[in-house]
Structure 1
Amino acid sequence: MLTDYHNHLERGALTLDYLRQFTDAAVKKGIQHFGISEHAYHFYQTKNILSNPWVDARRCYDMDDYVRLFHEAWDAGLDVKMSIEMDYTPGKHEEMAAFIRSYEFDYVIGSIHWVDDFGIDLAEYRHEWERRDLYDTYRKYFDQVVTLAESNLFDIIGHLDLVKIFKYVPEDEEFLLEQYDRATTALANSKTCVEISTAGLRKPVGELYPDPRLLQMCYDKGIPIVLSSDAHVPEHVGADFDKAVELARSVGYTELMTFSKGERKAVPLG
């Protein structure tokens, strides 16, 4: 079995025709469990959770239209899960919980893209990596991984070590492994699964998320996994899944987690 639970329609339109391009690609790639997880910041209903100039300029969707699209897809016989990728926002747990409860998501992805006012994965902010303390940014990033897990709001954490995207990585391995250890301990005590994401292969870092040492800690602590491509165009659905499966098996995984209306079920790794 294969999953691809992290995909976005934002470069096209919230239409059945465009969605079908993604589901058709999933079928061709042999992906049995496929979902769309649009960025929550695009929706007017999340303004009370995350708001800054970069995000607000991209808020253009209404959740009613999003939900309607999935009902159209299901009526048309498309096998697609409805999800959202929410920017985990410290101090907004009640607002995030209220939003998640308002919709019948099959699963919810929580991701960290912001460290204070720093959009860590955005090209517009790349220069900030040279201005800020690398170790402080990493520590704050993994602080959020810990509190994301402790919130127990999310089924999956997206691209667990996204912070490495531009190849800014601490040289102090002891420090890095300390961040990995506290993050995986918190995740192991939550319901949160970790995705192996192939998106990093298409980014400057040129690596899968997460780092093999980090994924090994996930396996050793019994944290379930899913596979994801983080596709923003249909052509990237299921991209490089052979490498994701190889990484999963190399640390010991033999199962993936699947989701349907909040229910989870382990299946053999394809």
Structure 2
Amino acid sequence: MRTDYHTHTERGPYTVEWLEHFLRKAAAEGIAEYGVSEHGYRFKQTRELFDNEWTAERRQQDLDEYMAMILDARKAGHRVKFGIEMDYVPGRDADMREFLKSYPFDYVIGSVHWIGDFGFDLPQFLPEWERRDVVRTYEEYFEILLQLAESRLFDISGHPDVIKVMGYEPEDAAFFQGWYERIAAAFARNGLAAEVSTAGLRKPVQKLYPAPDFLRAFRAQGVPISLSSDAHRPEDVGADYDTAVAYIRDAGYREIVTFTGRERSMVTLT
């Protein structure tokens, strides 16, 4: 079985007709469980959880309309999971917990896209990378990722090492191993799944998330994994999945995680 839980339909209207473009591509790729996980920052309902100048310009949608699209698709006979991708911001745990209880999500992806005001994966922030100490930036990112795990707010950690997206990486390979082991242990302790994402192959770094040693650290700790494309266009649903499946098997995994109503199950990866 293959899944694609991390996808975004936000470039079009919240209609079943638009969603069907994604569903058709999922079917063509042999994806048995497809889910949508829109960015939480796009909705007016999340303003109190995370807001800055960049998100304020994009917070123009209504989460209830998004949910209605999913429910209408189900009424039309489509199998589609209802998810959301939330930016984790330290210090807002209680408010986010209450928000997440207010919608019938099948799963919640927690991601780190910001270090303070630094949107490290956004092209307009690329010059900031040249001014930053790369090692220190990774340390800041990993510290937030540890807090994300300890919060127990989420079901899946989205693209766990997305910090490498622009191709900036510490030169000392030994730097990573301690962090990988600490983070994997935190994921295992807090029941958090790690996402294997093909999106990095379409980014400047041109690598899968997470790195091979990171994925092996998750495996050593018994952390379950999800499989996703992070597609923002129908044509990217299930992208590079044969590559990802071989990558996952090489790390020793034979199963992936699925969710319904935030309850986790394991299925054989095919």
What are the within-5 Å matches in structure 2 for residues 69-218 of structure 1? Answer: 69-218=69-218
Q: Which amino acid aligns with 2:48?
A: N
What TM-score comes out, normalization by structure 1 length? 0.99
Amino acid at match of 1:120: F
Q: Quick one: percent identity of the two aligned structures?
A: 50
Aligned CA RMSD, in angstroms, stands at 0.8
User: Where does the alignment leave 5 or more consecutive residues of structure 2 unmatched?
Assistant: none
Answer with 6-15 or 80-89: which moved more. 6-15
For 1:218 and 1:253, the matched residues in 2 are separated by: 10
* Cα distance in 2, alignment partners of residues 181 and 242 from structure 1: 27
Q: Distance in 1 between matches of 2:117 and 2:133?
A: 14
- 2:20 alignment counterpart: 20
After superposition, give the CA deviation of every residue in 1:156-208 in whole Å (9 maximum; x if it has no partner). 00000000001110012222222212111111111211111000000000000
For residue 84 of structure 1, report the CA deviation from its aligned partner: 0.3
Aligned-partner Cα distance in 2 for 1:12–1:66? 11
Offset from partner CA, 1:227-266 (integer Å, 9 cap, x none): 1000000000000000110011001000011111111110
2:127 and 2:10 map into 1 onto residues whose CA distance is: 25
| One-letter code aligned to 2:204 | P
**Tell me, which stretches of 5 or more residues in structure 1 are unaligned?**
none
Once residues 113 and 150 of structure 2 are traced to their aligned partners in structure 1, the CA distance between those partners, rounded to angstroms, is 18
Kindly provide the CA deviation profile for residues 74-99 of structure 1, in whole angstroms up to 9, marking residues without a partner as x.
Answer: 10011000000000111100111111
Return structure 1 stretches of 4+ with deviation > 2 angstroms: none
Q: Secondary structure at the match of 2:190?
A: coil
- Post-superposition Cα deviations, 1:113-162, rounded to whole Å, max 9, x if no partner, equal 00111001000101100111111110110001111110111000000000
Aligned equivalent of 2:235: 235
CA distance in 2, matches of 1:5, 1:66: 15
Matching residue's letter, 1:53: E
* Partner Cα distance (2:226, 2:98) in 1: 25
Deviations, residues 43-63 of structure 1 (Å, cap 9, x unaligned): 001111111000110001111
Match of residue 255 from structure 1: 255
| CA–CA separation in structure 1 for the residues paired with 2:181 and 2:117 | 26
**How far off is 1:14 after superposition?**
1.0
AA in 2 matched with 1:60: Q
Q: Deviations over 1:30-50 (max 9, x none)?
A: 100110000000000111111
Tell me the amino acid that sits aligned with residue 129 of structure 1: W
1:267 is matched with which residue? 267
Q: Which amino acid aligns with 2:112?
A: I
Tell me, what secondary structure is at the counterpart of 1:188? helix
Q: Aligned letter for 1:261?
A: G
**d(CA) in 2 for partners of 1:183, 1:120:** 20
In 2, the alpha carbon distance for the partners of 1:208 and 1:173 equals: 17
Distance across 2 between alignment mates of 1:167 and 1:122:
13
Letter in 2 for 1:38: E
Secondary structure of the 2:256 match is strand
- 1: distance between equivalents of 2:96 and 2:132? 29
Between stretches 131-140 and 77-86, larger displacement belongs to 131-140
How many residue pairs match? The answer is 270
Paired with 2:44 and 2:182, the residues of 1 have a C-alpha distance of 34
